[in-house]
Structure 1
Amino acid sequence: MKRLFLDFVNQQEGKRRRITIQSPKEDLTSQQVSQAMDALITLGAIPTGYVKDRAAIVETNSNEFFNLL
């Protein structure tokens, strides 16, 4: 499973916020992600005082050994 993590930080308060997007588009560019993060800040979807910190696509795999229920 792939997820796109958008991390924002408020450096004055030392707090972090994360938006997680499940199954992001395969052909995303860093510029597109950066612009989307800027738009979230501009639109007020991210609280005042937060700035872009990090964006990453994370892929996880699981190997289930058993499922009893």
Structure 2
Amino acid sequence: MKRLFLDFVNQADGKRRRIVVPNPKTNLTSQQLSQAMDMLISLGAVPTGYVKDRAAIVQTNTNEFFNLL
């Protein structure tokens, strides 16, 4: 499963916020992500005082050995 992590940090106290987007497009650029994060900040989707910190696509693989239910 691929997920896009958009990380924001509060410069005053160091607290962090993360927005997770499941199954992101594969052809995203750093410029597109930076602009999207700026838009989230300007629209108030991220609390006041937070700035963009990091954007990363994370892929996880699960190897299930057994499922009892």
For the residues of structure 1 that align with 2:8 and 2:26, how far apart are their CA atoms? 22
The aligned residue for residue 6 of structure 2 is 6
Which sections of structure 2, spanning at least 5 residues, go unmatched? none
The aligned residue for residue 15 of structure 1 is 15
Q: Secondary structure at the match of 2:66?
A: coil
Instruction: Say what the alpha-carbon RMSD is for the aligned residues.
Output: 0.6
Greater than 3 Å deviation, 4+ residue runs: none
Instruction: Report the Cα offset of residue 13 of structure 1.
Output: 1.4
Scaled by the length of structure 2, the TM-score of the pair is: 0.96
The residue type paired with residue 44 of structure 2 is G
Instruction: Report the count of equivalent residues.
Output: 69
Scaled by the length of structure 1, the TM-score of the pair is: 0.96
Q: Secondary structure at the match of 2:28?
A: coil
Which sections of structure 1, spanning at least 5 residues, go unmatched? none
Identity of aligned residues (%): 80
The residue type paired with residue 22 of structure 1 is P
